[in-house]
Amino acid sequence: MLQREEYQAIRRAIASIPGDVSNDAVGAYVPKLEDIYAPETHAAALDPTTPIVVGSRGAGKSFWAGVLGQQQTRKAAAKAYPQLGLENVSVGFGFTGVSGPNGIGADALNHLVPPNADANQAKAFWWATILRAAAQTTSNTAPKLSEFVAQSRNWEERDELLGQHEDRLRAAGKTLLVVYDALDTVATNWPRRRLLTEALLEVVWAMRAYRGIKLKLFLRPDQIDDDALRFVELPKLRTGAVRLAWEGTDLYGLLFARLALTPKPPARKAFKNVLKALKITPGSQSTILARRWPLAHRADDQARVMVALAGPYMSSGPHGYKKGKTYDWPITHVADAFAEVTPRSFLGLMIAAAKYGAAPDDRAITADGIRHGLRAASKTRVDQLHQEFPWIKGVLAPLDGLLLPQKESEVFRVWKRANTIKALILDAEKNKYLPPFSTEEQQGEQHLFEALARIGVMFRRKDERIDMPDLFRVAAKLLKKGGTAPL
């Protein structure tokens, strides 16, 4: 289909996609305009009327928080999702996990909500973040958060101020959206995290009374699903929450959009030639953003492009089809236990595949490269998960060499023999991070498995044996018959 040089140009373009696609809502790592890819399924997550957006690490919570927080990227999002009315929305931040001119981090939270704080003090802090964001809409400077804490404790004064902002915003036809991101960083122990989370959810529920001021929380699943939360209206908030997830077509659409818009002219031209040969319309920035490009949503067209770039199957020869299709294999093998795939893992696999081995003459990446890409994606995913759950590597390490799937008694025996739980608890106390056990009564091997299952790292098969998705298994160096071997 293409000349060798053209395949190599596409290969280099895939290899040059930034491997670290993590973002912050504010600061030096905010999303850039050229980074925006807008799946149809993410419209509800950006809707100002949706107060809670749930997503695992790498799903795009901070990315979309950062997009909403910048005028230029918010305009692009308004074009991608015209039904949301984002052109009439101004955005302020209520918490970002990162301090700075526009950010509110843990330092401010810890200073204004002391360790012995009660629920009223916690709620006063969250109310103050709303008052501050509203005040910013009338000022070019960021008011000090501490100035609003006293006002927020007086409910009459607070309601009067919010009412004034509400009237002003509605008269102007505007909506203020107050965004909260990185909420997993609010505390390093379970009682304080629950206090702050419950207080914030109560404030979110109370803000239903306002039409001109909306709140949007980007939360991790384990934070909103904590069974110990006691807020009476929590079931209603959970029901209305939107899950930030990526379909397989979204991920391939993202990859092919990167190739269609690559700043490397030889690769851009070569990829355009691939599409021409397959009778697929080339993509432009506007058609890709608005999802009017076939490769943004048509799985059959995506599969044809993948065959052109990587061949049809994960093995050659007459029986190669038994190893799976190159289009399906990456999605299946970088999914967690909930069958969810993040852009970081998917792109990480493709980037590593494009860097593996000698460049072939008749394709951009190979089946062996894709398998190697799984190993790279697995290592990256576990490293990233360790940033979120610092205990994760310590509980996976004793399982090195274990053959999966396995009876739970054998898995638990390995942990018990290595004193895994005792070591975990001591390390969490020493390094001041949140352990997986929320109470002293729930510190057994069964509870550790349940904690891993909650975050998609382990699951139980129908025959009750314990298993682990390849995304984590390969980096953790567990074995599986017929599966990709660890490095």
Q: Which domains does the chain have, with CATH numbers?
A: 4-8+247-385 (no CATH), 40-243 (3.40.50), 389-480 (no CATH)
CA-CA distance, 242 to 154, in Å (whole number)?
33
Reading the block at residue 238, the tokens are: 């959970």
The pLDDT value given to residue 226? 87
Give per-residue pLDDT as tens, 457-472: 999 999 999 999 999 9
pLDDT at 20: 65
Per-residue pLDDT band for 95 (boundaries 50, 70, 90) equals very high
Closest C-alpha among 180, 208, 185, 214 to residue 61: 180
Mean pLDDT of 345-370: 95
Q: What's the predicted TM-score (pTM) here?
A: 0.92
So what's the pLDDT on residue 238? Answer: 93
Residues 137-188 have pLDDT tens digits of 987 777 889 989 989 999 999 999 999 999 999 999 999 999 999 999 999 8
Q: What is the mean pLDDT of the chain?
A: 93
3-state secondary structure of 280: coil
Could you read off the pLDDT of 176-225 as tens digits, one per residue? 999 999 999 999 899 999 999 999 999 999 999 999 999 999 999 989 98
- At residue 369, does pLDDT exceed 90? yes
Contact 356, 372 (CB under 8 A): yes
pLDDT number for residue 487: 64
Is residue 58 classed exposed, middle or buried when 0-12, 13-18 and 19+ CB atoms within 10 A define those classes?
buried
Which of 142, 179, 170, 155 has the alpha carbon at shortest distance from 64?
179
pLDDT digits (tens, 9 = 90+) for 400-435: 999 999 999 999 999 999 999 999 999 999 998 999
Question: Are the C-beta atoms of 44 and 50 separated by less than 8 Å?
Answer: yes
Residue of 144, 147, 171 lying closest to 157 (CA atoms) = 147
Query: Can you tell me the mean pLDDT for 263-278?
Result: 96
Predicted confidence band at 72 (pLDDT cuts at 50, 70, 90)?
Answer: very high
Is the pLDDT reported for residue 31 higher than 80? yes
Calculate mean pLDDT across residues 17-45: 84
Judged against a pLDDT cut of 80, whether residue 254 lies above it is answered with yes
Tokens encoding 191:
């009682």
Which phi and psi (to 5°) does residue 93 adopt? -105, 135
**In this structure, is the dihedral angle defined by the CA atoms of residues 73, 88, 343 and 295, taken in order, positive or negative?**
negative
Q: Which region holds residue 75: left if phi is over 0, alpha if psi is between -120 and 50, else beta?
A: alpha
pLDDT tens digits for 274-330?
999 999 999 999 999 999 999 999 999 999 999 999 999 998 877 777 889 999 999
